[in-house]
Amino acid sequence: MSTVETSQSVFEEIHEEHEHLQELYSRVRAEFEAAVGGRPNGLNGLFTVLVDVLEKHFAHEEEGGYFREIVETLPRFASTVERLQHQHGVLLETAQVMRLRLLRPEDSVVSLRAMQVEFDDFLRQCCDHEKREDELVQEAYWQDIGASD
């Protein structure tokens, strides 16, 4: 299989993972919206799933996904990949901290509303991160394709 075919396959897998994450983000936001009168039952479970999916997704991008291939093929993108990998750690830690805070029995509806704002900020960071990943992939793909013509 050629590099382009391999890349396309990996890109499609990562894209599907991003779509799955978007669905989870929507479910978490809906659960926050339902937080009238106390902590919703499904929020803890959704955050547990979200953290698990993020861990697997980031590992896929870093180890089995396109980051390694980009750096091997186009080493000049190594610093960009390093920054994106660092962001993975930051984003994952943010999700883990929010999940742990949800487990505290003293958290009130007011705290949940504050966490909802924090989650919205987390989503903005995730969207910005995905946008940077997409830009990297597009630039690397076109430079690699252009170089092989």
Residue 38 phi, psi (nearest 5): 145, 175
- Mean pLDDT over each residue of the chain, to the nearest integer: 82
What's the pLDDT score for residue 73?
83
CA distance 133 to 80: 9
pLDDT digits 0-9 by tens, 12-42 = 888 898 899 999 999 999 888 886 455 556 8
Q: Where are the alpha helices (DSSP H) in the chain?
A: 3-33, 41-59, 66-73, 78-102, 109-148
CA distance 112 to 138: 38
Nearest to 57 by CA among 140, 136, 129, 138: 129
CA distance 64 to 11: 11
Nearest to 29 by CA among 42, 13, 48, 14: 42
Question: Can you tell me whether residue 65 is helix, strand or coil?
Answer: coil
More confident residue, 52 or 7: 52
More confident residue, 144 or 93: 93
How wide is the angle at C-alpha 89 spanned by C-alphas 31 and 87, nearest 5°? 90
What's the pLDDT score for residue 118?
92
107 contact partners, CB below 8 Å, separation of at least 6: 39, 101, 115
pLDDT digits 0-9 by tens, 122-135 = 999 999 999 999 89
